[in-house]
Amino acid sequence: FCVCAPTQRLFGMEEDQVQARADILRSESERAPAPVLCGAARAAALTAEHQHIADAVSAEARRRYCGLPAGVMAKLTPWPCYLVLEAHSQVVAGTNYFLKVRVSADGEPLECVQLRVFVSLFGDPPALAALRKGAAAAGALSYFAEEEGERST
């Protein structure tokens, strides 16, 4: 099989077949790359599912944001605002969602937290795996493994 310029006639191919081949090659080169397994991929658009996942771990995120240990029971004030701004997902033995969430009220300087939330394949509730806050959360959303950011006192 001869690889020639798309406009040249290939062995035994008609002009319309050559044009169809050229169109396929062009569309393949313009197509967005498929997400890599175990690589985080940016969500094409935010959905209600992203907000629902963030809402499911809101209380745990607030507890960690305030620096309270896991066993401590406390009544925490809710976030002034809790709105997902950006989302990435990573397919593992379930799905890791990386969510950038606005937590400051309107009219205040923008403050965000970044959440890594694991959703299992078995229908378990979403679990907050890690939280990023402070300057680290203000930046671009990317993979993070452990708790990062400034500790509130």
- Counting as low any pLDDT under 50, the low residues of the chain are 1-7, 35-37, 150-153
- The pLDDT assigned to 50 comes to 93
Interhelix angle 48-56/58-65, nearest 10 degrees = 50
- HSE on the CB side for 3, CA within 13 Å? 1
- The pLDDT assigned to 128 comes to 95
Integer Cα distance of 133 and 73 in angstroms: 22
CA–CA distance from 46 to each of 1, 22, 35, 77, 87 (Å)?
Answer: 45, 35, 17, 26, 7
CB 50 within 8 A of CB 43: yes
- The pLDDT assigned to 153 comes to 36
Integer Cα distance of 118 and 104 in angstroms: 24
What are the DSSP E strand ranges found in 58-109?
83-92, 94-102
In whole numbers, what is the pLDDT of the chain averaged over residues?
A: 79
- The pLDDT assigned to 21 comes to 75
